[in-house]
């Protein structure tokens, strides 16, 4: 029971992944935590999340006064700020770093901001544990397929985050640092499916950068499952990767449009975009093994590799171009995760499924 009587810090805990992660930790499926701490910058999102857990309308003063008495605790702060990180990390047994700038165009225009959040935020967590000797047992860095052979700033900074956490195991040997890496999360904030929902609701057109572009797809719960699997089984410096399917952007658009008379308009590849994403590179596949349902990239640093064991699980890179679902497969995937039902609710005047 990995969370039994543990204090868990989730940076960026009000984001799409963070909210599902917090909900499932508090549900107790892997033990009852002593405390779950959410560190993030947006007081409005924290307030909404706090109300959702209280299940009743109470005054703002009452909520804030009781904040530190609850199992779910909120802290306003930024991973960029070392003092904020120290204040949150010092009481944590487990840290999940989900704080990130993840929008590709935003990071292209403001690369220094991406460096501060995605790289320096990770470095601040490592520094806090190393300099103060906080008894943190495990740190998990949330990464992305864009970190594999990166061509955009978001991917480059996430690749550096991976290296920061992996390298931390050498100098902070009492804490286990590892990463998880996965593709596009269905219906997460800022992803293509909420955009398509919005465009369909407004009568189109649905904008597709390139019809043949492919992307790995998994649900928020599958992303959280990957974090839990790494917490249970990863060794220091390892990176867990789910066996995710992929789909073309055109098929995603066609499935969501259905029989509606809505135009698909091709707009061209945006700066920093790849046609196909890679989850495990050709170089990494040589030191990738299987752990249950997951691929595990072993650390490159010799101090962390340990004894040579099983052979590689892959003989080529793990690309979204190799795992493409057809139109029916894409429809089944989106239906399984209730994303088609979200559009039906929209058509009936309901709220957009997020």
The candidate with the shortest Cα–Cα distance to 274, out of 239, 312, 321, is 321
Contact residues for 271 (Cβ-Cβ < 8 A; gap 6+): 104, 105, 108, 152
- DSSP three-state, residue 65: helix
Q: Give CA separation, 203 vs 195, 262, 339, in Å.
A: 13, 6, 18
CA end-to-end span of the chain, whole Å? 30
**Other beta carbons within 10 Å of 57:** 6
Residue 146 known to be catalytic: yes
Q: What is the DSSP string of 217-270?
A: EE-HHHHHHHHHHHHHHPPTT-EEEE---EEEHHHHHHHHHTTS---EEE--PP
Q: Give the tokens for residue 226.
A: 């990957």
Residues 282 and 294: their CA atoms lie apart, in Å, by 17
**CB contact at 8 A, 239 and 296:** yes
Q: Give CA separation, 169 vs 78, 152, 163, 178, 255, in Å.
A: 23, 27, 10, 9, 44
Active-site residue identified among 6, 19, 102, 146: 146
Contact residues for 127 (Cβ-Cβ < 8 A; gap 6+): 82, 85
Q: What is the DSSP letter of 56?
A: S
Q: What is the DSSP letter of 315?
A: S
Per the listing, tokens 């909120």 go with 74
To the nearest 10 degrees (0 to 180), the angle between helices 249-257 and 192-201 is: 40
- DSSP percent split of the chain into helix, strand, coil, nearest 5: 45, 20, 35
Catalytic annotation, residues: 146
């Amino acid at each position: 029971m990995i969370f039994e009587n543990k204090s868990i810090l989730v940076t960026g805990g009000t984001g799409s992944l963070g909210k599902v992660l917090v909900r499932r930790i508090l549900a107790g499926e892997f033990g009852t935590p002593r405390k779950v701490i959410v560190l993030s910058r947006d007081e409005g999102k924290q307030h909404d999340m706090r109300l959702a857990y209280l299940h009743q309308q109470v005054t703002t003063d009452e909520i804030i006064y009781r904040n530190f008495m609850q199992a779910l605790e909120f802290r306003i702060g930024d991973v960029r700020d070392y003092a904020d990180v120290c204040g949150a990390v010092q009481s944590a047994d487990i840290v999940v770093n989900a704080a990130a700038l993840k929008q590709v165009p935003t990071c292209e225009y403001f690369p220094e901001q991406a460096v501060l959040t995605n790289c320096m935020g990770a470095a601040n967590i490592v520094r806090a544990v190393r300099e103060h000797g906080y008894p943190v047992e495990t740190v998990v860095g949330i990464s992305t397929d864009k970190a594999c052979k990166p061509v955009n700033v978001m991917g480059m900074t996430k690749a550096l985050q991976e290296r920061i956490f992996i390298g931390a195991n050498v100098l902070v040997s009492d804490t286990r640092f590892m990463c998880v890496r996965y593709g596009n999360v269905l219906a997460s904030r800022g992803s293509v499916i909420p955009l398509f929902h919005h465009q369909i609701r407004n009568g189109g057109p649905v904008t597709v950068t390139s019809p043949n572009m492919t992307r790995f797809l998994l649900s928020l719960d599958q992303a959280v499952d990957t974090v839990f699997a790494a917490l249970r089984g990863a060794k220091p410096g390892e990176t867990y990767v789910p066996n995710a399917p992929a789909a073309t952007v055109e098929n995603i658009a066609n499935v969501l449009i259905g029989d509606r008379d809505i135009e698909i308009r091709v707009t061209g590849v945006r700066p920093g975009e790849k046609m196909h994403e890679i989850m495990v590179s050709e170089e990494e596949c040589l030191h990738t093994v299987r752990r249950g349902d997951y691929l595990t990239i072993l650390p490159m640093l010799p101090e962390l590799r340990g004894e040579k064991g099983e052979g590689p699980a892959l003989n080529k890179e793990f690309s979204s171009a190799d795992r493409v679902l057809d139109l029916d497969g894409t429809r089944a995937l989106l239906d399984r995760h209730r994303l088609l039902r979200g559009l039906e609710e929209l058509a009936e005047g309901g709220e957009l499924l997020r």
